[in-house]
Amino acid sequence: MPELRHDPIQKRWVIIASERRAPPTKLPRHREAPAGAPCPFCEGNEAMTPPEIMAVRPDGGPANRPGWLVRVVPNKFPALRVEGELERKAVGVHDRMNGVGAHEVIIETTRHDVHLGDLPVEQIERIIWTYRERLVDLARDRRLKYMLVFKNDGLVAGASMQHSHTQIIATPVTPLTVAGELQSAKEHYHLKERCLFCDILAQELDSGERIVVSGERFVALTPYASRFPFEIFIAPRRHHHSFAEIDDDAIRHLARTLKDVLLRIKRCLNDPAFNFIIHTIPNIKATPKRTAYWDTIEFDFHWHIEIMPRLASVAGFEWGSGFYINPTPPEEAARYLRDVRLE
């Protein structure tokens, strides 16, 4: 019998249609490798990208040269541009502003054809450290209200480049999905004086049936109202509101958890394409801002990572209704992922 499940974070309903599921071992492989010209993200091709914003180098060598470990460059075809002023104005009942923001690419490794989960933990630490440093730097621009860290891996996940990379887009408005999470978290805290995410984690840890990985500092689970088959939610065990404020010890633990989860997905699901996103707090230094709007955000919001293997497509019913149809119960997905042997 199908189930309707409600997500208290996004306040949406999901249909768990288990009769439509297929065993993970029979899922098609989704990682098509785009072919084409020389890769601008490979070491030695630094001149093919815009000038680097920053890089992690073992010896502090010169910019825009080989010898880097992680490299950050502006997107060559940016969705938004740093230059200019917002110039907000009304257009009848509509609103408009200039496309001011930032769009950066974090090149995760010098190696061209490697899965993020196959990188050494130390390299994943460097990548996460770079995420943090870019969020801190971008938040200094008070025009920017939100910085979204996201990864498209594989063609069906939206990646135009095979070389492993992450992107950051900084926007002058808070995205609708994030705004919904912020509002739900704020309402829950004002009503109960507790973090909504902490309450969910406590319930999931007590139950255990949707837990994939439970570490000293991070928990990975399949959400009760998962939108997609094998969707994963990773969050700090202890309350923490801002990804930009994580310490180096947390980065080490997160790198191990992220590697563990990505390898389980790769081995269980035949190396699927996937997306992951980091949801953290908005830039509370951005202007203009509403009085007292962020007064409780340190206590009510809980940063987290969402990973979505691309195993199902969003079609007409989903677009028209706002419902998602997930053919794999999250309890079953968690069991499959826990059973994966990593050694």
Catalytic residues: 165
DSSP readout, 125-189? HHHHHHHHHHHHHHTT-TT--EEEEEEEESGGGT-S--S-EEEEEEESS--HHHHHHHHHHHHHH
Structure tokens at 54: 């920053």
| The two three-digit tokens of residue 95, written as one number | 């609103």
Token digits for 150?
Answer: 């996201």
The sign one gets for the Cα dihedral 166, 262, 248, 184 is positive
3-state helix, strand and coil shares in percent for the chain, rounded to the nearest 5: 30, 20, 50
Q: Provide the 8-state DSSP code for 253.
A: H
Cα distance between residue 318 and residue 327, in whole Å: 13
Exposure string over 112-147, b if 16+ CB within 10 A, otherwise e: eeeebbebeeebbbbbbbbbbebbebbbebebbbbb
- If one counts every other C-beta atom within 10 angstroms of the C-beta of residue 252, the result is 17
Q: Are 220 and 212 in contact (CB under 8 A)?
A: yes
Dist. CA 5–CA 16, nearest whole Å:
7
Residue count (the chain) = 343
Structure tokens at 179: 């705004």
How do 324-326 and 12-16 pair as beta strands? parallel
DSSP 52-106: PSEEE-SS---TTSS--SEEEEE-SS-SSBSSS----EEETTEEE---B-EEEEE
Give Cα 150 to chain centroid, integer Å.
Answer: 5
